[in-house]
Copies of this chain bind each other. A is one copy, B any other.
Amino acid sequence: MSYQIAVLAGDGIGPEVMAEARKVLSAIETRFNLDIEYSEYDVGGIAIDNHGCPLPDATLKGCEAADAILFGSVGGPKWEHLPPNEQPERGALLPLRGHFELFCNLRPAKLHTGLEHMSPLRADISSQGFDVLCVRELTGGIYFGKPKGRQGEGEEEEAFDTMRYSRREIRRIAKIAFEAARGRRGKVTSVDKANVLACSVLWRQVVEEVAKDFPDVTLEHIYIDNATMQLLRRPFDFDVMLCSNLFGDILSDEIAMLTGSMGLLSSASMNGSGFGLYEPAGGSAPDIAGKGIANPIAQILSAALMLRHSLKQEEAAACIERAVSAALEAGFLTGELLNANERHLAKSTKEMGDFIANAI
């Protein structure tokens, strides 16, 4: 089988962790007899520097011609003086999501055995572990709702944003959450604010309708404010969390931080035709960029998600995931996952990539 991948490594640690993901993908190509072609494009801060905008036309065209986008990370202090909506992250990610209608965002977050001490949670809570899949709607809600803008003058000048959801938009993301729950622990927690938002009332109704087709899956509803609380006390009680765009943005970050190991988390953003963008959950980490110490696992796992969801190469995806687990279980770890007194055991970005590629 032959595939075309658009590689958007971006800024900060993006290029160095991407190099390791490519190394692992090479090993996969050999082992599974796949033919993957890569085209590299600028995105984010580097694209602002080279072309004056975070998502140049050539990059977008390259993505259109590909089967999937493997995305690194964007942003850094150099571009922070720009107005928020011209900055690398927002200026690249939101248009890509909108353009390709990547409505379905999967953000798995798991507290790995042996890494419980990384969690900021109390030992008696983290020792119970957790494994949450956040299913976030990514092209609707208050992110893209119209009208959005300003009007009026002086002190009465006001800004406005519109949160908007159709039954269709809610139904398609809810289905994905229920399907995912079937392959996991069979529970969906739908997050809303139905005591305040009209969108959440409709959200709840449609989710209830979808639930009827999944009698084997348990459904519960939780208000977003309560969700942020319960995740702190009993993260292990959650399986799939189904969220609108804004609530998913907030909750998935809380959950990611609860693992304490953002360098291990990847995410998939997909549309209805199997096309998707795959990226690490962490940022561009400019403070450690270029030092060769960044953890490439999140990027490598993004490649696994790409193989699974866009290239439909489940075995190859699972093979990468097993290799990653082997590294973690062998205590083969990058520095940020080690306690201060064990830092001398830290593996480099490259060593980690080599280990995983060899395990393929």
Residues in A lying within 8 Å of B, measured CB to CB: 83-85, 87, 89-90, 94, 119-123, 125-126, 142-143, 145, 148-150, 152, 154-168, 171, 193-204, 224-226, 228-229, 232-233, 246, 249-254, 256-258
Contact = CB atoms under 8 A, between A and B. Distances in A.
B233 A120 contact: yes
Contacts of A254: 228-229, 232, 254
Chain B CB within 10 Å — which of A120, A168, A252 has the most?
A120
Given A196-B90, A250-B225, A158 B119 contact: no
Contacts of A196: 85, 90, 94, 142-143, 246
A340 B257 CA distance: 29
A156 B164 contact: no
Given A120-B232, A162-B162, 14 more contacts: A85-B201, A90-B195, A142-B197, A155-B167, A156-B166, A158-B166, A158-B202, A160-B199, A161-B199, A163-B163, A225-B250, A228-B250, A228-B253, A228-B254
Mostly, the A contact residues are helix
A165 B156 contact: no
Given A167-B154, A198-B150, A232 B257 contact: yes
Contacts of A224: 249-250
A201 B158 CA distance: 11
Given A123-B122, A167-B155, A197 B161 contact: yes
B168 A84 contact: no
A195 B158 contact: no
Contacts of A143: 196
A43 to B, nearest CB: 16
Contact of A163 (B90, B160, B229, B233): B160
A165 to B, nearest CB: 6
A80 to B, nearest CB: 11
Contacts of A249: 193, 224-225
A199 B162 CA distance: 10
A196 B120 CA distance: 28
B156 A168 contact: yes
Contacts of A159: 164-165, 197-199, 201-203
A209 B322 CA distance: 53
Contacts of A252: 225
Given A157-B167, A162-B160, A250-B250, A148 B198 contact: yes
A175 B158 CA distance: 18
Nearest to A248: B225
A196 B91 CA distance: 10
A315 to B, nearest CB: 34
A317 to B, nearest CB: 27
Contacts of A202: 150, 157-159
Nearest to A85: B195
B162 A158 contact: no
